[in-house]
Amino acid sequence: MIRQIWPPEAGRELGTDDLEALYRFPDVAKWLVVNFVSSTDGAITVAGRSRPLSTAPDRVVFKLGSDLADVVLLGAGTAVIEEFDGVHPDPETADRRRRHGLEPIPPIAVVTTGRSLPPDAPVLTRAAVPTIVLTCERAPADLRAAWVAAGAEVVVAGEDAVALDVAVAALTERGLRRIDCEGGPKLFASLAEAGLVDEFRLTVAPYLVAGTADRAAVGGAFDPLELELATVLTDGASLLTRYLVP
C-alpha cells in the first residue's frame, strides 16, 4: 500500500483514484514532467539500464505518467538502450485514458541529432502510433527520409542541435500539451537549462549501487534550481517524490 507522508497533514493511504488525482496533469497550456528512478546513492542505472532499479510502487507512478500524458518524450539514446517500443495500452490504461478524455494511445517524441536513432529502432518500427522524431538540420537528409519510411513524423527544430523550445512548441501546437519525459539525463539537463521543466518526479529506490552510473541530470549550464517539494509517498521502502520548478 502506498501512503502519502508529505505534506504531513495529508498522511493517508492512497487508492487508485487518489493516485490519479495526485499525478494528473494540470489544465494549462503546457506542462512538462520529468521522471527518474535512482538508487539511494544517486545511480540511475544498473549495467546501463534503469529497469533493475524500478520497484513496484515506482512502476505504479511511472505508468501514471504516460497514462495521463498526451505525449511521451525521450532522448534517442535512452529509447534505444531501453529498447522502448512505444505505449501499448493494457485495459487499465485504456480505461484511464478514456475517463480522462485522452487519445487512446499517446505518441512517442524522440529527440536526436542524427545517428543515435537508427531507422530500425523499435521506438520507430514497433510503436502503435507514429513516433515524432524531433531533430535538427544537422541530421543527414537520407537518415531523415529513412525515419519517415519507418513510419515516423519528422520535425526539424534547430540547425546544429535540437532547439528544445522550438521542439516543445511543435508538440503543444499539435495539442500535445501534457508532456511526460522519461529520460535520459542529458535531455533532462538540456530541458532544465531551457527553462522547460515544470515538474520533477523522482523515485528513490532502496538499493545501494556505487560504481560510475550517471545521475538524473548530466550536462547543462545553469545555476542550481531551487525546487518546491510537492508530495512524498512511500510503501515503507521506496520514496516517491514530486518536485515543482518555480
Interval 101-117: pLDDT, tens:
999 999 999 999 998 99
Residue 244 has pLDDT above 90, yes or no: yes
Percent of the chain with pLDDT over 70: 100
Helices 56-67 and 16-23: crossing angle, nearest 10°?
60
Is 103 within the bounds of a domain? yes
Q: What is the C-alpha to C-alpha distance for residues 41 and 6, in angstroms, rounded to an integer? A: 22
Is 123 within the bounds of a domain? yes
Is 9 within the bounds of a domain? no
Beta bridge partners of 203: 37, 240
Percent of the chain with pLDDT over 90: 90
What does each C-alpha distance from 200 to 1, 48, 223 come to in angstroms?
23, 21, 17
What does the pLDDT read at residue 189?
Answer: 96
**Average pLDDT of the residues in 201-220:** 93
Is 12 within the bounds of a domain? no
What does the pLDDT read at residue 80?
Answer: 95
Q: Average pLDDT over the chain, rounded to whole?
A: 96
Beta bridge partners of 152: none
Residue entry with cell 483514484: 17
10 pLDDT band, cuts 50/70/90, is confident
Residue entry with cell 511521451: 72
106, 74 contact by CB (below 8 A): no
Domain that holds residue 173: 29-244
Is 194 within the bounds of a domain? yes
Number of structural domains the chain divides into = 1
What does the pLDDT read at residue 48?
Answer: 86
Is 51 within the bounds of a domain? yes
12 pLDDT band, cuts 50/70/90, is confident
For residue 152, the domain's CATH number is: 3.40.430.10
User: How remote is the C-alpha of 86 from its chain's centroid?
Assistant: 12
Is 18 within the bounds of a domain? no
What does the pLDDT read at residue 221?
Answer: 79
Kindly report whether the global pTM for this prediction surpasses the value 0.75: yes
| Edge-to-edge strand list for the sheet holding 71-75 | 12-14, 2-6, 228-234, 239-244, 199-204, 31-38, 178-181, 71-75, 108-111, 132-135, 153-156
Residue entry with cell 535531455: 187
65, 181 contact by CB (below 8 A): no
Is 6 within the bounds of a domain? no
Q: What is the C-alpha to C-alpha distance for residues 5 and 19, in angstroms, rounded to an integer? A: 13
11 pLDDT band, cuts 50/70/90, is confident
62 pLDDT band, cuts 50/70/90, is very high
